[in-house]
């Protein structure tokens, strides 16, 4: 065997499955664990049975035979649905205001500056001056993922105005926690039975698709 043909690789959990995935997240949204009921007066109400979880669908482009086999192998590293991977909306590698990261500046030290009493709003600190947070952006705090619901701008000290996120901030979220703005992710597992990796009978080419849900 040619020397150097094989490269050692260490698999860590959560696995960086989506790095280099030739495809897209066709759906990435919150899955609400709720139930409807009706009062004696006829009012319909919803009841929460837990914090909503992120749920996603991923699909590749048409893969050539060798590429299809490679991605089948990468997926086997998860042992089906046993091991988690870092899931993220592939449309949001960077904040909306900074396509492909252009002009984003240094956001490696961003942290929570304050948390609202409603536990669903916050301000950030240590941002580049006049940095923009946009509705639709995602933030990662620890292993939790949040979507921004209001625009915000960092002032001359690098602190933002207050803005809301969903879901509500998880217990154990504190001022000073690091906030990830680039490729924000959340641990997910593949939903059993959702993985499809079948090749065409004539060409061997195929599309890989699967659904995933946030772990706890």
Same domain, 141 and 169: yes
Task: Decide if pLDDT at 1 tops 60.
Answer: no
Same domain, 205 and 160: no
CB 126 within 8 A of CB 117: no
Task: Decide if pLDDT at 77 tops 60.
Answer: yes
Domains held by the chain: number = 2
The mean-pLDDT minimum among 7-21, 115-129, 193-207 falls in 7-21
Q: 71-98 burial, b for 16+ CB within 10 Å, e for fewer?
A: beebbeebeebebbbbbbbbebebbbeb
Same domain, 112 and 127: yes
Q: Report the CATH number at residue 152.
A: 2.40.30
Q: What is the mean pLDDT of residues 23-38?
A: 90
Per-residue pLDDT reduced to its tens digit, 144-185: 999 999 999 999 999 999 999 999 999 999 999 999 999 999
Whether 6 is covered by a domain: the verdict is no
Whether 13 is covered by a domain: the verdict is no
Rounded Cα distance, 92 and 135, in Å: 12
The mean-pLDDT minimum among 8-12, 109-113, 162-166, 186-190 falls in 8-12
| The residue to which tokens 């979220």 are assigned | 173
Cis bond upstream, residue 14 (ω within 30): yes
Rounded Cα distance, 163 and 144, in Å: 17
Whether 3 is covered by a domain: the verdict is no
Whether 71 is covered by a domain: the verdict is yes
Same domain, 104 and 162: yes
Whether 147 is covered by a domain: the verdict is yes
The Cβ of residue 205 has, within 10 Å, a number of other Cβ atoms equal to 13
Same domain, 110 and 139: yes
Rounded Cα distance, 173 and 71, in Å: 36
Residue ranges making up the domain that contains 71: 23-88+187-214
Same domain, 170 and 198: no
Whether 18 is covered by a domain: the verdict is no
| Residue 50 or residue 15, greater confidence | 15
Task: Decide if pLDDT at 50 tops 90.
Answer: no
Rounded Cα distance, 131 and 190, in Å: 35
Q: What is the mean pLDDT of residues 16-21?
A: 92
Rounded Cα distance, 108 and 182, in Å: 9
Of 181, 186, 162, whose CA–CA distance to 98 is shortest?
181
| The residue to which tokens 């879901």 are assigned | 167
Whether 10 is covered by a domain: the verdict is no
Whether 28 is covered by a domain: the verdict is yes
Rounded Cα distance, 14 and 195, in Å: 18
Rounded Cα distance, 187 and 197, in Å: 22
């Amino acid at each position: 065997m040619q020397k150097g043909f094989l490269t050692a690789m260490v698999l860590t959990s959560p696995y960086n499955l989506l790095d280099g995935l030739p495809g897209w997240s066709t759906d990435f949204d919150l899955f609400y664990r709720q139930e409807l009921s009706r009062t004696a007066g006829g009012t319909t109400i919803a009841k929460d049975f837990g914090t909503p979880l992120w749920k996603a669908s991923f699909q590749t482009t048409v893969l050539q035979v060798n590429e299809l086999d490679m991605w089948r192998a990468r997926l086997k590293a998860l042992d089906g649905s046993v091991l988690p991977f870092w899931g993220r909306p592939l449309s949001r590698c960077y904040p909306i205001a900074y396509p492909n990261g252009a002009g984003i500046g240094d956001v490696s030290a961003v942290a929570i500056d304050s948390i609202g009493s409603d536990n669903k709003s916050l301000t950030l600190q240590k941002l580049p001056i006049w940095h923009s947070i946009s509705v639709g952006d995602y933030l990662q705090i620890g292993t939790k993922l949040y979507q921004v619901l209001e625009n915000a701008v960092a002032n001359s000290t690098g602190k933002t105005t207050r803005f809301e996120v969903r879901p509500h901030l998880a217990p154990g979220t504190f001022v000073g926690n690091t906030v990830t703005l680039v490729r924000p992710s959340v641990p997910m597992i593949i939903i059993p039975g959702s993985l499809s990796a079948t090749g065409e009978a004539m060409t061997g080419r195929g599309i890989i698709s699967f659904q995933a849900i946030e772990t706890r």
